[in-house]
Structure 1
Amino acid sequence: MLLLLLLQVWASCLWLAGSEVVTSFESSCPQFFFRETPPNEALQPENPAWICQNYKNQYYFATLYDRNRRIPVYSAYLYQPGPGKRPKTWMVEPQLMSPAYPKTMEKEWTLLNYFSVSLDQLSKSQAILKDYKNLTGLNRGHLNPSSHHPDSSSRTATFTLTNIVPQNEKLNGGAWNNYEQQTMTRRTQGCNATYVVVGAVPGNNYIAKGRVNKPSHIWSSACCEVDTHRRKAWAVIAENDKNEVQLLTLGELEDVLTQLYGRDQVSLFHRDCPRE
């Protein structure tokens, strides 16, 4: 009995990393969007989940998740790069199974061994580590990259499978990495605050025996506040089978996404962000 009690106490202490499935970003974690305005509903999937990604009781970014395709639609964050090591721990989102579970991201191992969750139960709600094993030409591509965050906790928070898509490995380690590490550094010179929304366009192919969608395109957009009166914006898009990144204006990316999704006009940021 004492051993069981100690295990329960220990397990409860593990719930330090957290993400919360919420009803809207505006009411729960609006701080990751310029003027607290998320993208409009033109990108919303059939079965969405709004996740405020939290670690050690602090929100670090926001993710709109596609439950059916088991990939994020987009992640939104503040660009605040800093030095530090790349984390190695991968986590999943318990609340995608049910709101009854704690508001946390956690390791698969912990869920399976201490919270009576089966791998089948977990896999029905989201992508799991097994889905990304033995891939050919693809790897786990962050939407929100760990290197764009200033410390260990914020970087670790990006290592959740709800922030990952199957990405062409040459693109991920090549032109896309160049954009994340070099182009962003140049473009954000003089910015007091840079808001980023980075996403993936669903494709026609899947990995893991049809479980996880392979996006057709990866894209990123940014709106930078130079001062109280000046802002600048930029965007990129890449086909997910080529090692090439195309630099666009924010307005051009919104038009391209509108064509790719075939729905209403896409709006990624508040109207005060320049589209040209």
Structure 2
Amino acid sequence: MRQFLVSVLAVLLLSRCPFGTTEVLKTFDGCSGFFSEKWPPVISGILMNNSDPRYKKICQKHNFGSGYTFATLYDTESRIPVFSAYNYTGRGKFDRPNIPWKIEPQLDPPVDDMTAPYNNQAIDEDYFKNEFNVNRGHLFPSCHAEDAFIAESTFTLTNIVPQYSGFNSGSWKRMEIESQISMNTRCIDNKGNNKGKGDVLAHVLTGAIPGKNQLNNRVNIPSHMWMAFCCCNKRQCASGAYWAPNEQERKNENNVITQETVQELQQFLNETWKKMCSCLRTVQMSPMG
């Protein structure tokens, strides 16, 4: 159930939540390059020609005048992204950004009193002192960014879901590292060399399946997280997929999320989230190498 924020609180939060420079569009045409073959996923009732208006298509920018850095489909009722799509070009040499989390002003435009009650998105304060011991979990992880500029663009709350802290810093973090290694080694050209700097090694989709609990009575806590990648060169295509329940893990618990096929992920999503009918169209055409 939506919880509307009073104008006084909105004024206080306005100074704490820097604005992003996102563009909320009717289609992903402006940032279709983040999808394999420029085809976004097909999700029955969510991302089709007559999709529900609660789902917003976001082409993410970092600042005015810059190009797009990734794409997100955002659920304004659950207040979490359905997925983020990005191009993996190899991890650059930079430290994890230490910047404020951004919100997206187009999702909650100002009303008559010039304030913006954040009814359609999560805000930083939703994560403060929560009873579930969850924190902000990236879909497009900053550690997969090519440079510090792109890494900073991932620090928007429309690219974040509540992840249990042990899971976020445990098996899911290890998966992000393992998938990076896999893409670096499997997504190669026909001479056995990695592509040049800035060239796309792989197209990646990372998403969340809504759960039954809510953070701050506003933000859905996903039941599962999933990720898939695909890449092709002149000789072959390769792809891989990962998924796991979003559950608390004990410190030093060495859970492993193994790489599976995209087809197996497709089956899992169809069984777990009935609305997902063909969610991985972007990678479905690419068999495991």
| TM-score, L = length of structure 2 | 0.77
Structure number with higher relative contact order (C-alpha < 8 Å, ≥ 6 residues apart): 2
Shift of 1:178: 0.6
Residue 169 (structure 1) aligned to one of 158, 165, 172: 165
* Residue 33 of structure 1, aligned match among 32, 35, 40: 35
How far 1:182 moved relative to its partner? 2.8
**Quick check: 1:239 aligned with 2:238?**
no
Q: Identify the range of structure 1 (69-78 vs 234-243) with the bigger mean alpha-carbon deviation.
A: 234-243
Range moving further from structure 2, 53-62 or 66-75: 53-62
Q: Percent identity?
A: 36
Alignment of 1:5-154 (within 5 A): 18-25=21-28, 27-42=29-44, 44=46, 46=52, 47-56=54-63, 57-80=66-89, 81-88=91-98, 89-98=100-109, 117-118=114-115, 121-135=116-130, 136-154=132-150
| Cα separation, partners in 2 of 1:77 and 1:117, compared to 1, 3 Å | farther
In 2, Cα distance between equivalents of 1:34 and 1:240? 27
Matched-pair contact (CA < 8 Å) for 2:107–2:121: yes
How far 1:267 sits from its partner (Å)? 3.4
Please state if 1:229 is matched with 2:235.
yes
Shift of 1:270: 4.9
Distance (Å, rounded) in 2 between the aligned partners of 1:142 and 1:43: 25
CA contact (8 A) 2:19 2:102 kept: no
* Corresponding residue for residue 4 of structure 1: none
Give the 3 Å change call, closer, same or farther, for CA 271–176 of structure 1 in structure 2: closer
Match in the other structure for 2:205: 197
Structure 1 unaligned spans of 5+? 1-14, 102-115
SS in 1 for 2:58: strand
Q: In structure 2, the residue corresponding to 1:155 is in which secondary structure? A: helix
Question: Does 2:287 correspond to 1:274?
Answer: yes
SS of corresponding position for 1:125: coil
Q: 1:205 to 1:234 in 2, by over 3 A?
A: same
Q: How many residues align?
A: 242
User: Which segments of 5 or more consecutive residues in structure 2 lack a partner in the other structure?
Assistant: 1-17, 188-194, 196-200, 250-254
Amino acid at match of 1:194: A
Report the secondary structure of 1:124's partner residue. coil
Shift, 1:117, TM fit: 4.8
- Separation (CA, whole Å) in 1 of partners of 2:203 and 2:156: 20
CA distance in 2, matches of 1:233, 1:117: 47
Higher relative strand content? 1
Cα deviation, residue 274, structure 1: 1.4
Quote how far apart the aligned CAs of 1:16 are: 9.5
Instruction: Check 1:175–1:270 CA distance in 2 against 1; reply closer, same or farther (3 A cut).
Output: closer
CA distance in 2, matches of 1:197, 1:43: 19
TM-score, normalised by the number of residues in structure 1: 0.81
Q: Tell me how far apart the structure 1 counterparts of residues 276 and 144 of structure 2 sit (CA, whole Å).
A: 31
Provide the C-alpha distance between the structure 2 equivalents of 1:156 and 1:187, rounded to a whole number of angstroms.
22
Kindly report structure 1 stretches of 4+ aligned residues shifted beyond 4 Å: none
Question: Is the Cα–Cα contact under 8 Å of residues 135 and 163 in structure 2 kept in the other structure?
Answer: yes
- Distance apart, 1:43 and its partner CA: 7.3
CA contact (8 A) 2:19 2:105 kept: no
> CA–CA distance in 2 between the matches of 1:32 and 1:145?
15
Higher helix share: 1
Does structure 2 retain, via aligned residues, the 8 Å contact 1:252–1:275?
A: no
- Aligned-partner Cα distance in 1 for 2:19–2:169: 31
Work out the CA distance in 2 between the residues paired with 1:138 and 1:200: 15
Amino acid at match of 1:236: Y
